Amino acid sequence: MHKIVKSIRRRFIFIAFHISFFFKREKRINSRLIGSKYGNWYLPNQFLKLLSQQSGICLSGGVGEDISFEYELSSCSQIEFKLYDFTPRSIKYFNNIRDGWRDGITCDDGKIYFENFKIDKFEFIPYGLSAHDQTLMFRPPNDLNHVSWSHATVEEGGECPFQVLGFKTQINKYDRTNLLICKLDIEGSEADILYNDDALICLSSFNIILLEVDYLKSADFFSAMRYLTRVRKLFKTHILFYINDYNIGFMRKTEGYNV
């Protein structure tokens, strides 16, 4: 019975999220999928057209075992990529790429990635991201075929402590005028960043913000609504250009990116 109630609650929250954000989406912005079938995200066409003329930073939190999105962007831009992930399999994955996976890997959509891989464009930081520098407890995935670990208290099944880095501290290392893309797929830990005012201001400094709103999958109704209120603060500086499942994308309201 408890599982049924939980499933109904999760579905209701998902529907409420989509209804409230769907009508905020700017439908005139055409977007294109970048990356493999598993690791793809949408980016606006008008943003992609300008990438070849720009240099800047793409910060990706929670890259797991798929950096096809970042790799595809690296082939058409001068972007530098800052990749954050503390999970053991992700660390091993990136070490393997760095140590010799240069001949190409066939991903699940049949594309070949990592040909002529330009390692100098990529910096892998083996830590998670949160609102502050701290040590948090995480639980491993229920399915051992999955790479992602989730933030959880000991009572919620958190088994292992991992060091996470403060989002503001990391952003302050970079020139704010060069912040192009922030992609956060950090299994619910994005809530810690959204709830912190300083971190939220830092997040809004990026031209493109890509979020997987994983927190909604485990939140109760009132926590979910409070969480979405924090996400909506991004509408002050950004336009919502896509929503798909639990993924959403925002584009800054600046000249050159406006509809």
Q: What is the CATH number of the domain that holds 76?
A: 3.40.50
By CB neighbour count within 10 A (0-12 exposed, 13-18 middle, 19+ buried), where does 14 fall?
middle
Whether pTM > 0.95 for this model: the answer is no
Q: Rounded to an integer, what distance in angstroms lies between the CA atom of residue 202 and that of residue 198?
A: 6
- Give the model confidence (pLDDT) of 97-128 as tens digits: 777 654 445 455 555 556 666 778 899 999 99
Q: Rounded to an integer, what distance in angstroms lies between the CA atom of residue 202 and that of residue 185?
A: 17
Nearest C-alpha neighbor of 71 from the set 93, 86, 46, 44: 93
Nearest C-alpha neighbor of 62 from the set 116, 126, 11: 126
- Residue 244 has a CB neighbour count (10 Å cut-off) of 13
Which amino acid type is present at position 49?
K
Element (H, E) at 130: strand 128-130
- Overall domain count for the chain: 1
- Give the model confidence (pLDDT) of 56-100 as tens digits: 999 999 988 888 899 889 887 889 999 999 988 888 888 877 776
For residue 188, the model assigns a pLDDT of 73
For residue 259, the model assigns a pLDDT of 45
**31 and 241 in contact (C-beta within 8 Å)?**
yes
Query: By residue range, what is the domain housing residue 112?
Result: 2-129+167-252
Tell whether the model's pLDDT for residue 42 goes beyond 90. Answer: yes
259: in domain = no
Beta-strand relationship, 57-61 and 122-125? unpaired
- Give the model confidence (pLDDT) of 9-32 as tens digits: 888 888 888 888 888 888 888 999
How confident is the prediction for the chain on average, in pLDDT?
84
Tell whether the model's pLDDT for residue 158 goes beyond 50. Answer: yes
**255 and 53 in contact (C-beta within 8 Å)?**
no
47: in domain = yes
134: in domain = no
Comparing 174 with 147, which gets the higher pLDDT? Answer: 174
Beta-strand relationship, 80-84 and 105-106? unpaired
- Residue 102 has a CB neighbour count (10 Å cut-off) of 13
Per DSSP, what are the bridge partners of residue 123? 82
**247 and 43 in contact (C-beta within 8 Å)?**
no
Quick one: three-class SS letters along 225-246? HHHHHHHHHHHHCEEEEEEECC
144: in domain = no
Residues 6+ apart with CB under 8 A from 123: 80, 81, 82, 83
143: in domain = no
216: in domain = yes
58: in domain = yes
How much is the CA Rg of the chain, to the nearest whole Å?
A: 18
**233 and 221 in contact (C-beta within 8 Å)?**
no
Report, as an integer, the average pLDDT of 220-227.
Answer: 90
151: in domain = no
